[in-house]
Chain A
């Protein structure tokens, strides 16, 4: 059974969904570029993933094509894998410098 009655379907405006996606993406970008803690930086990338998810689902609903949601599954997959690996790397980096500061790693400079 579907959760909601099938003859009325919730009509959320696509524009609002896209704006939500954009806002989340922007906020995530701002957070990524302004926080110096490595882990919080990765959290902000996850936030950007959320934005992408919202956008995909919104467009999928617009065309009533489930590929959008399928792709969200894969986004989840990749996000999980990436989180695992990124956190492993962060742990390694942390072990080297005993700090979570992203500014500790500035060897590639002029």
Chain B
């Protein structure tokens, strides 16, 4: 069945939990299209604002209203959809058929596939987008009248594309949304287009994403040739029936998940395609919060979750996903520990947490991954927004060595304490949302059987410890300790006018504060869905989130071993009851991760709150000893990955580009184009002296010419050359 000779676990062969035949086509839910249309409308209106050079905050208002409308629509949709899923046709796009068989038609329309997975995603995407837009209305004030409209247009485009991606009913529309979010990301990272670093970062993001997009495109083609359709409902039906083509010994079955994985890694910044995300911090902070923490980077997770049955057909792919996720998490955490720019630390933290999510997907814990996506969206958004507020207020200062004691400064308390809420959630402090979501993943690593999954689990636990450490390194350094600060590079001068020359930080106002508070509350409240379920019979642990995932195509990643076994898809989880340290893994994990988190937090407090001098001493010791100094240096230098890429890829391409340029200039242009142009000129110059104007030279040519022709004719005849011409 699979390329790697592993036999498929019995998972996919059991009775499906969600018979796809129950998915109904629901044209009465046409108003769900508003989720996509409202951002589009906002885009158009913001474009008009830009055209008319509006100088007020009107674009922000427009975007906020439209996104809020989209959010309300999605909540309404959630309350009104019929499980297990609805297909809402909106617009016909491509419908080709040249026969009546399975592989003789291709259709991809603008239709929405409403099931719990997509609803989960779209709700938090639009919700967070609305809040972040409100934040951005104040954050982007310095650009009022200059790029303000452009920013909100970009955000609208992004939400439009993201909603297309999440709500799509077929892979082609998903690809459309995929490209759209890539474009929006490029546009928004390069928002400060006058800065070369921003432009370079935008290009890097787009190009690295493109590599992933290649995987997605190839996967879509292969899916069509193997399964005969790209629409989800038909696709899942075909997979469950087994009526797909096993032509070529099924190599496509094995290759498709890897291609999808490539796309997911590109979009969600995993090894080796993560290099764009830290550079993407050149964009404005709301962009970093919305796109590169909460929503766009989760598109990769969504893709894998959506096409999970395909991954289940080739179990090796899931192992690869798990390992890549785990390694990325570890690597990014080590880098994050050694950076000084707080936004960059958060970026690496995002990469690391995404690694966790992929790890979750790989160990058959899709609900863990989805839950972690959900909670991470909140607490990472709050962390980024807080960093943004700091940057906004301290004239671009982001170095944690230069700011300290923020919570003691008047007007900054909200920022400091919301940041604290986010930090403890990220660190996985016991009984925070992050704690539960991380545990769901970590425990599963010890439950599911797979190559080296135990090692992976311990690696993940160490990474969790590191996460706690670097998160609180940031918080203790910036928000605690003695008060001191320095302004950053973007000192405009108007911040200093109060104090007659001395820098005074510009405290955030209502919009920023209120959004920070709301999202912080959200990250606390995010615990609730883990325990509550809106289903009468709570079949599964994991609460509402698990329910949501369970009712979708990612069903196979929902463990069922602790609650009432409903009798499906649970054999792999049931047998053997793997234990961790002698206890049931879920239970053990509560203690282990809690302990590890506390250790990390304590270490951070020691080095960065109470005994900062010890941190300096430690650093000096590390640097002084050669056998270990390479480690912090490598971590600070991001393990030289960028340099490796430059040497391996960029430099050869640059050389190749120059070679081709030279080839084009000297050979194609020089010989073929200019050379051809020079020929008439040369011939003309060569023949020019014939026209000297003197009648005798003309006569020579004329008479000589005629004479030669006749002579040649006569000679041909006389000597019979060429058989006598005449």
> Is B692 close to A, CB under 8 A?
yes
CA distance A32 to B700 in the complex (A): 9
CA distance A108 to B690 in the complex (A): 11
One of A32, A103, A110 near B688 (C-beta < 8 A): A110
B694 touches A106 (CB 8 A): yes
- Residue interface bits B684-711, CB-to-A below 8 A is 1, else 0: 0000100111111001100100000000
> Is A109 close to B, CB under 8 A?
yes
One of A29, A32, A102, A109 near B691 (C-beta < 8 A): A109
Number of chain B interface residues as a range:
10 to 19
CA distance A36 to B691 in the complex (A): 17
Q: Which of A13-40 contact B (CB under 8 A)?
A: 29, 32-34, 36
CA distance A32 to B431 in the complex (A): 118
B703 touches A109 (CB 8 A): no
Cβ–Cβ < 8 Å partners of A36 in chain B: 696
Q: Which of A58-110 contact B (CB under 8 A)?
A: 102-103, 105-110
Of chain B, the residue at the smallest CB distance from A108 is: B693
One of B688, B692, B699 near A33 (C-beta < 8 A): B699
Chain B contact residues: over half helix, strand or loop, or mixed? Answer: helix
Contacts known (A32-B696, A33-B696); A110 close to B703, Cβ less than 8 A: no
B693 touches A109 (CB 8 A): yes
Cβ–Cβ < 8 Å partners of B691 in chain A: 108-110
CA distance A33 to B702 in the complex (A): 11
B692 touches A105 (CB 8 A): no
CA distance A36 to B694 in the complex (A): 10
- Residue interface bits B382-426, CB-to-A below 8 A is 1, else 0: 000000000000000000000000000000000000000000000
Cβ–Cβ < 8 Å partners of B696 in chain A: 32-34, 36, 41, 102
Question: B652: shortest Cβ distance to chain A, in Å?
Answer: 53
One of B688, B693, B699, B703 near A106 (C-beta < 8 A): B693
Cβ–Cβ < 8 Å partners of B703 in chain A: 29, 33
CA distance A36 to B696 in the complex (A): 8
CA distance A110 to B337 in the complex (A): 80
Contacts known (A29-B703, A33-B700, A33-B703); A105 close to B688, Cβ less than 8 A: no
Q: Which of A40-67 contact B (CB under 8 A)?
A: 41
Cβ–Cβ < 8 Å partners of A32 in chain B: 696, 699
CA distance A10 to B718 in the complex (A): 30
Contacts known (A29-B703, A33-B700, A33-B703); A102 close to B692, Cβ less than 8 A: no
CA distance A108 to B692 in the complex (A): 8
Cβ–Cβ < 8 Å partners of B693 in chain A: 105-109
CA distance A73 to B674 in the complex (A): 60
Cβ–Cβ < 8 Å partners of A105 in chain B: 693-695
One of B688, B695, B700 near A102 (C-beta < 8 A): B695
Question: A57: shortest Cβ distance to chain B, in Å?
Answer: 22
CA distance A13 to B3 in the complex (A): 102
Question: A40: shortest Cβ distance to chain B, in Å?
Answer: 12
CA distance A103 to B693 in the complex (A): 8
Question: B139: shortest Cβ distance to chain A, in Å?
Answer: 73
Q: Which of B410-453 contact A (CB under 8 A)?
A: none
Cβ–Cβ < 8 Å partners of B688 in chain A: 110
Of chain B, the residue at the smallest CB distance from A32 is: B699
A109 touches B692 (CB 8 A): yes
- Residue interface bits B43-80, CB-to-A below 8 A is 1, else 0: 00000000000000000000000000000000000000
Question: B711: shortest Cβ distance to chain A, in Å?
Answer: 12
CA distance A32 to B698 in the complex (A): 12
Of chain B, the residue at the smallest CB distance from A109 is: B693
Q: Which of B296-352 contact A (CB under 8 A)?
A: none
Cβ–Cβ < 8 Å partners of A110 in chain B: 688, 691
Question: B275: shortest Cβ distance to chain A, in Å?
Answer: 64
CA distance A36 to B697 in the complex (A): 11
CA distance A106 to B693 in the complex (A): 4
Of chain B, the residue at the smallest CB distance from A36 is: B696
Of chain A, the residue at the smallest CB distance from B696 is: A33
CA distance A107 to B691 in the complex (A): 10
CA distance A33 to B697 in the complex (A): 8
CA distance A36 to B699 in the complex (A): 13
Best-surrounded residue of A34, A102, A105, A109 (most CB of chain B within 10 A): A109
Best-surrounded residue of B696, B699, B700 (most CB of chain A within 10 A): B696
B694 touches A103 (CB 8 A): yes
Of chain B, the residue at the smallest CB distance from A105 is: B695
Question: A47: shortest Cβ distance to chain B, in Å?
Answer: 14
Of chain A, the residue at the smallest CB distance from B690 is: A110
CA distance A92 to B190 in the complex (A): 82
CA distance A102 to B694 in the complex (A): 7
CA distance A103 to B696 in the complex (A): 9
Question: A64: shortest Cβ distance to chain B, in Å?
Answer: 26
CA distance A34 to B703 in the complex (A): 13
Question: B39: shortest Cβ distance to chain A, in Å?
Answer: 70
Question: A30: shortest Cβ distance to chain B, in Å?
Answer: 10
Of chain A, the residue at the smallest CB distance from B707 is: A29
CA distance A103 to B697 in the complex (A): 10
CA distance A109 to B694 in the complex (A): 8
Cβ–Cβ < 8 Å partners of A106 in chain B: 692-694
CA distance A90 to B699 in the complex (A): 18
CA distance A33 to B696 in the complex (A): 5
Of chain B, the residue at the smallest CB distance from A104 is: B694
Cβ–Cβ < 8 Å partners of A34 in chain B: 696
CA distance A65 to B607 in the complex (A): 132
Of chain B, the residue at the smallest CB distance from A101 is: B694
CA distance A29 to B700 in the complex (A): 9
CA distance A108 to B688 in the complex (A): 12
Cβ–Cβ < 8 Å partners of A108 in chain B: 691, 693
Question: A5: shortest Cβ distance to chain B, in Å?
Answer: 39
Q: Which of B645-700 contact A (CB under 8 A)?
A: 688, 691-696, 699-700
CA distance A71 to B692 in the complex (A): 37
Cβ–Cβ < 8 Å partners of B694 in chain A: 102-103, 105-106
Question: A25: shortest Cβ distance to chain B, in Å?
Answer: 10
Question: B682: shortest Cβ distance to chain A, in Å?
Answer: 15
Cβ–Cβ < 8 Å partners of A109 in chain B: 691-693
CA distance A109 to B690 in the complex (A): 9
Question: A28: shortest Cβ distance to chain B, in Å?
Answer: 11
CA distance A20 to B700 in the complex (A): 22
CA distance A45 to B694 in the complex (A): 17
Question: B629: shortest Cβ distance to chain A, in Å?
Answer: 80
Best-surrounded residue of A34, A105, A107, A110 (most CB of chain B within 10 A): A110
Q: Contact residues of A with B, CB < 8 Å?
A: 29, 32-34, 36, 41, 102-103, 105-110
Selected A-B contacts with CB under 8 Å, 21 pairs:
A32-B696, A32-B699, A33-B696, A33-B699, A33-B700, A34-B696, A36-B696, A102-B694, A102-B695, A102-B696, A105-B693, A105-B694, A105-B695, A106-B693, A106-B694, A107-B693, A108-B691, A108-B693, A109-B691, A110-B688, A110-B691
Having A32-B699, A106-B693, one finds 10 other A-B pairs with CB under 8 Å, namely: A29-B703, A33-B699, A34-B696, A41-B696, A105-B693, A105-B695, A108-B691, A109-B691, A109-B692, A110-B688
Q: Contact residues of B with A, CB < 8 Å?
A: 688, 691-696, 699-700, 703
For the complex of A and B, 4 pairs with smallest distance between CB atoms = A109-B693, A106-B693, A110-B691, A108-B693
